[in-house]
Chains A and B, each alone.
Chain A
Amino acid sequence: MNITPELVERIADLSRLELGQEEVLETAAQLEQIAACMDILNRLDTRGIQPMSHVFPVENVLREDTVLPSQDRAELLACAPASDGETFLVPRAVE
């Protein structure tokens, strides 16, 4: 698998991370090495095998809704870098 600087820039963009030019090249080299190791999996015949997300079969469990107290809003907002006491504050998202 050839990991190009352009591919690294694309995944950095998707990851919302900024990489300097040097970091892009370093990351490309490292990911290429790591991807080469991961390509070992191609030796494994997985035809007909279901991908396993969880080791235990997960089934829907139904129950009646019950109202329980949730976290205190003021306490949660106090964790935020910026809030007006009612909501989180962020720069304008829609122009």
Chain B
Amino acid sequence: MELMELTALELGTAIKKGRVSVKEAAQAALDRIAAQSSALNAFITVTGERALDRADKLQAGVKDAESPLYGVPMALKDNICTRGVRTTCASKILGEFTPPYSAAVVDKLAGAGAISLGKLNMDEFAMGSTSETSCFGPVKNPWDPERVPGGSSGGAAAAVAAGLGWYAVGSDTGGSIRQPAAFCGVTGIKPTYGTVSRYGLIAYASSFDQIGPICRDAADCAAVLDALQGKDPRDGTSLEGQYGRLLDRLTGDVRGLKIGLPADCYGDGLDPEVRAAVLAAADTLKSRGAQVTELPFPVMEYVVPAYYIIAAAQASSNLSRFDGVKYGRRADEYGGLDDLYRKTRTQGFGPEVKRRILLGTFVLSAGYYDAYYIKALQARAVIKSGFDRAFEQCDLLLTPTAPAAPPRLGTSLDNPLQMYLGDVYTVSVNLAGLPGLSMPCGFDSQGLPIGAQLIGPHFGEEMLLNAAHAFQLDTDFHRQRPKDSICRDAQRVPARLETLDHRPGAQCAPQREGGGPA
């Protein structure tokens, strides 16, 4: 049995039945990480010793384990705080920050018997759509190391696709789980805003940020989301709900389910191969008894401007806390207190983060606040109403996740606006706080994965996962894996660090336990 070919739930079952020990599973993943990860640059920090120690402890409790994920090794995006393990947000400004507390989701996963293999690479502060803005260098796509894996949870998606762990937990502010899942041929879900605690998630845009899983299939996503969701008094936006029964309710029965195709999501700017693959997915769901109808969705042109105004505004406010005083790195030389702030922030933030802070400060500044920020909040209300009307006509929406195949490394950061426009199908979901899922639905003529996005109403996770599960019962796109040889070849592809070279100071160094660069 090739362990790495199992899904997280299959591995959980094998562990429960004693066919595989927890340590064997952890060691198998660590061996693959040692062989592949530096080529893909998927991990920032590998916590092998911790993982093996925990495997021993968990093994003792296998018999009494209730979680279907008990003993299954996974990894966390590096914007999720982990007590005692360096958490960088892929930014120089956090330096060697080692949180004195863990995020709520880390404790919840621990309760479900998870083993963390380490922390995953990402765009700096989750700002980017390509995982190239990391101060640790770009992540590469395991399907084609010349391509980006998407972002900002690019390390998470690449790791799951390349078999460096059985699932990953990322965050999604404007598509950061769904778009990399699409680009790497894996399944990811951003849950309804407020259903997973943000306590311990380093904030980017607080009214959009939401944690969720990236997995090999919809069933694994259901199991991980069951472990993650829940009311948490430490997150003021956390909601009460009926949590923990997604996996149990996964039937694959979509008879009578009304799936809407928003016409405005299939127009200009969409790659014909992506369009064909997503429409074929609609046909597959139809063949299982779903009803597919087209409907108008006339707000698409407003979603990117509204999203980037609000996200940048919240980012500029949230990131004011990085001032070289309470944690992270401080500039070596400075004059007074104000100069300390300026030097620390100028040296610590990368270009994309600075761009969004500046943009956010602009839209919030006197004279522009009403024209941009308030206008965007009004547009948000209009977009939310657009979804409300759509969900009066159908149960779910089906759209592409991204308009085209993953771009080549080094081609996106010079034109930020173009990169922002690529988020057109995902950001609307965050503006309205809805759940959204991306599932593999085909490959283009170059062999690159294509993702289809399902969008549901608030608390519609069960419907989304069930539709994706139904699709995956009839297709095997989610079972395709990139060849290991491609991942190894990634080593030879230059990381194109020139896109980062204009930052002062040295690149950040990846780290393994016991010090020393990996």
Contact = CB atoms under 8 A, between A and B. Distances in A.
Contacts of A10: 365
Interface stretch (B26-34, B129-137, B371-379): B371-379
A46 B341 CA distance: 38
B337 A92 contact: yes
Given A41-B376, A90-B337, A91-B340, A55 B193 contact: yes
A2 B327 CA distance: 38
Nearest to A63: B233
B361 A15 contact: yes
Interface string B318-362: 001001111111100011111111110110010000110111011
Given A31-B358, A33-B417, A75-B100, A88 B325 contact: yes
Nearest to B385: A49
Contacts of A52: 377-378, 380-381, 384
Interface in B452-500: 458
Nearest to B434: A55
Nearest to B357: A15
B304 interface: yes
Count class of interface residues, chain B: 35 or more
A91 B342 CA distance: 13
B54 to A, nearest CB: 22
A41 B375 contact: yes
Contacts of B308: 34, 38
A41 B98 CA distance: 42
A34 B420 contact: yes
A17 B372 CA distance: 22
Contacts, number: 155
A56 B337 contact: no
A44 B100 contact: no
B345 A17 contact: yes
Interface residues of A, number: 49
Nearest to B343: A18
Interface in A54-95: 54-56, 58, 71-72, 75-76, 78-82, 88, 90-93
Contact of A71 (B101, B304, B375, B384): B101
Which of B100, B308, B329 neighbours the largest number of chain A CB atoms within 10 Å of its CB? Answer: B100
A71 B330 contact: no
B417 A37 contact: yes
Contact of B382 (A3, A16, A44, A88): A44
B266 interface: no
B199 to A, nearest CB: 13
A60 B343 CA distance: 40
A10 B368 CA distance: 13
B412 interface: no
A56 B416 CA distance: 31
A12 B193 contact: no
A54 B342 CA distance: 32
B306 interface: yes
Given A12-B358, A72-B100, A91-B335, A46 B326 contact: no
B387 to A, nearest CB: 10
Contact of B346 (A7, A17, A76): A17
Nearest to B316: A15
A76 B340 CA distance: 20
Interface in B409-429: 416-417, 420-421
B302 A41 contact: yes
Contacts of A37: 304-305, 417, 420-421
A34 B417 contact: yes
B105 interface: no
B404 interface: no
Contacts of A54: 207, 237, 433
27 contacts: A11-B358, A15-B316, A17-B342, A17-B346, A17-B349, A18-B342, A31-B362, A33-B417, A35-B372, A38-B309, A38-B363, A39-B305, A42-B375, A49-B382, A51-B377, A52-B384, A55-B432, A56-B239, A56-B458, A71-B100, A79-B99, A79-B327, A79-B328, A81-B325, A82-B330, A90-B340, A91-B335
Q: Kindly list the 7 A-B residue pairs having the minimum CB-CB distance in the complex, ordered from nearest.
A: A51-B377, A55-B433, A81-B330, A46-B378, A75-B100, A79-B327, A52-B381
Given A31-B362, A34-B416, A76-B326, 19 more contacts: A11-B365, A12-B358, A15-B361, A16-B338, A31-B358, A33-B417, A38-B308, A38-B376, A41-B379, A42-B375, A44-B375, A51-B378, A56-B237, A75-B100, A79-B99, A80-B326, A81-B324, A81-B327, A81-B329
